[in-house]
Structure 1
Amino acid sequence: MQFLYPIGLLALAGLIIPLIIHLWNVKQGKTLKIGSIALLGESSRASSKSFKINDWLLLLLRCLLLALLAFLLARPYLEKIISGKNRTGWILVDKTTFQQVFNSNKKSIDSLLKKGYEIHDFNVGFKSLTLKDTILNETKQGDSLSYTALLSAANQFVPPGAEVYFFADHRLNRFGNELPTLNYKLNWVSLNRTDTLSSWITSYAGKKYEAKSNPSSTTYEALNSADESPINITIHETSGITDSKYLIAALKAIESFTKRKIIINAAAEKATIGFWLSDNPVSSAFRSSIASDGALFQYEKGKVVVTQSTINIYGRHIKLSKRIASTGQAEKIWTDGFGNAILTNEKADSLHIFHFYSRFNPQWNELVWDGLFVKALMPIVIRAENSTDFGFEYNPADQRRLSVQQKEVTEITKTEATKTTQNESLGITFWIAALLIFVTERILSFRKKPNYVKS
């Protein structure tokens, strides 16, 4: 037996109260009526005190009642180990594909149902399904949550330690950025898909691409081969700062991926975007070197805050060690784990100004080491209208699947918890015991006959 609030046991000090009452037992004298008191002298009043316990049973009941109340304040509970072998298992399958899954895995599902497994819809709420639902041919309503989010949410519904058979494919676009931690054993039954090849047309920053996808990769080919105007970028960096090397490497990666020509520090023409990598205020000359309706990315100056947090970009969390305290009210694009601005955007003086409250420096954060750095800079550099939609890997027609090595890591992570513990409250038991003891104590107390002195 354990206690949720052990400090409540301090109430056991109240046990001294019934002990004092029983020891300090004051006996009242009895007045006797006689015919004449002429020969009697006046005597002082006296009372009898006895430091002796006369009723051990009542004392025991009263002490036990106070002890139970103290235990109730401490919230007692029992910790039980629950094994998955003793719990009913689950079968998880998307209701919209249940008919196809059952037809191709009939023998396996029938065998699990005979063992007592329950069928549940792999969607929000995890509603129960029956074999009658296989005759329903429902269409999918919009995009569902990722496998990562749903498997994690199932922790609140699946009995702890139970075994789960999950019938689904391993398409990469259904996974989030991190694998969930589960309190049940997951057996992933991979589905064989016939549509392993797909293609679609997409556009970004004025260029159209044809995407071709298969289980191992997705490739993109530009359709409009007309030459586009180059992107002119100017970079200012003060002495002692070497952040530009990380920025230039990212810009070259963007140029290679998009096939857009990027010219850095071209003296002849005005820049499309300027990067001010300095603690000093942006000079008027640098600002005027940027074309109208261009963009300015500038380091902000202020109080340096040492922190242990993350930069949140596109749902990813990148380690953040230092930032500049932000005071502006501009639109937040990147934030830290506490909601503080790391990158903001505003329109001022015909420029799109990006205020960066950190640095392209590994001592400040690990952004430059992450592959997300290139993707995060791309909407700023290329200035696409639908920059939030950029990222071909999220297209629903993407056929890529987890590699064999990724599957092994997934299974190891998901099968760690085969046993778990569950706390069972003892409050009701203690309340019932306290009630019975209280009733017994009252009955004994009222039945006790007073001692009279015989005259």
Structure 2
Amino acid sequence: MQFLTPIWLFGAAAIIIPVLIHLWNIRSGKVLKVGSVSLIDAASRKSSRSFKLLDIPLFILRCLLLIVLALLLAMPVLQKKMQAAKVKGWVLIPKETFTETYQKFKPTVDSLTKAGYEFHYFNSGFAKSDLKKVLLKPKDSLKTISPATFPNYWNLARELDTKTASTLPVYLFTPNQMQYFTGEKPQVALNLKWQTYTPADSVSTWIQDAWFTANGEIRVVQGTSKPLGTAYAYSNFKNDDKANSAYTINTTDGKAQISLTGNKQEPVTVSTDAQNILIYADNNSLDANYLEAALQAVIQFSQRPISIKTVANPAQIQANTEWLFWLSDKPVNKALAKNILVYEKGKATSVNSWMSNAGEFTPSLADDEKVGLFKAITATDIKAEPVWQDGFGKPVLALEQQNQTNIYHFYSRFNPAWNNLVWSSNFPAWMLKLMVKPEVDNSVYDKRVLSAKQYMPVIGSEQHTVAAEKSIENKSLSRYFWLTLIIIFAAERWLAHRKPKTEIA
């Protein structure tokens, strides 16, 4: 027998309380009647007291009551070593997509479980379950759940690596949509066979953003996501356009809200905010001219209320600026704007590469998505999130959040001597994607899928086994101690009341 919280065993020292109570029951001496007291010396008077325990059974019960209570608080358990079960392997399916996943891989899953593979849910803790009993549940309880926050399969793969031995075959069946894979790809030592599928509901449409233009029209950005990619369409319509039945306009608390007719998406508030952009040119006036031209193209295309101004003196920078392009490697006051793009300081190195803003999951890029990169500042000790990357995966533009300010570290320049970005037709699109933060988080609607090469963890050569303590089972003995405690308490109360209290006090 072991105790999970042995510190409570010190509580057994409380038995000193009934000992003191029983010893304190001092019995007075008896008065003897005699015929004459003349022969008794007055000076020889002495007191007589008895310190003997009066009720031994009651005393023992009270001591036992405290001892058993201390043992109960110490959480007694019976440890039993379990023999390792001879399991051929594991089959794992996420609980939130169980029905659809099982139907996609039913023959394979059934054959594996019949061969002796254990079924586990691919969720934190990897609870073991009987697949036959799971399938006997009502169909309503097995319906696919649309999670508000998608589980991270890569984090679960890391956890799985600590729960199973490297030699144990593991068959994993999951969807292959991008929203289930975030962060850095894990390195594990698993005997892993991971099979994925594209869910049936693989197309989604939603309103990404909406704002009022200068002429009072509403400009809407509508997103459509499919397994091969996500696209956005821009359109304008007037608020009183009754012929346009694709959108529904409502007013809540004085703000216009727009939604897709027949779509379950929450209405999107039509923005009325205006942005101000400042460019600090310093000694890079040519860079500022290229950048301003690209930003003017962004304004013309997006039709957002945006103002642009180029300044030569930092004192001209207004407070609460939305965007500040600090085209200098001099130190910048980070409190000047909500978003700051700054030229990174360092030694310029000639490179023969390209840069892209497509993201880490793009398996291959078209030539028009690549921008030639000729010079770059060597990035060291980067703790920021890459936004633009070169052909080697190194950041060219990286985002760092400091308090309420977003700092974009640019390791190149807006200059044709450094790269071809200023000559690229994609330059305005890159700036639009960088600057315009959508009203809606589109990760919920993202239906893009990953290939096996993209989602499969890196399998390391280091082998490991399951920790030894996992083969020990702890059986709680608390209920037995509770029963003992109740019996002792009942016996103590009976003994305490069988005589007048004056005799046992």
**Bin for the TM-score computed over the shorter chain:** 0.3 to 0.5
TM-score for the superposition, normalised by structure 1: 0.47
TM-score for the superposition, normalised by structure 2: 0.43
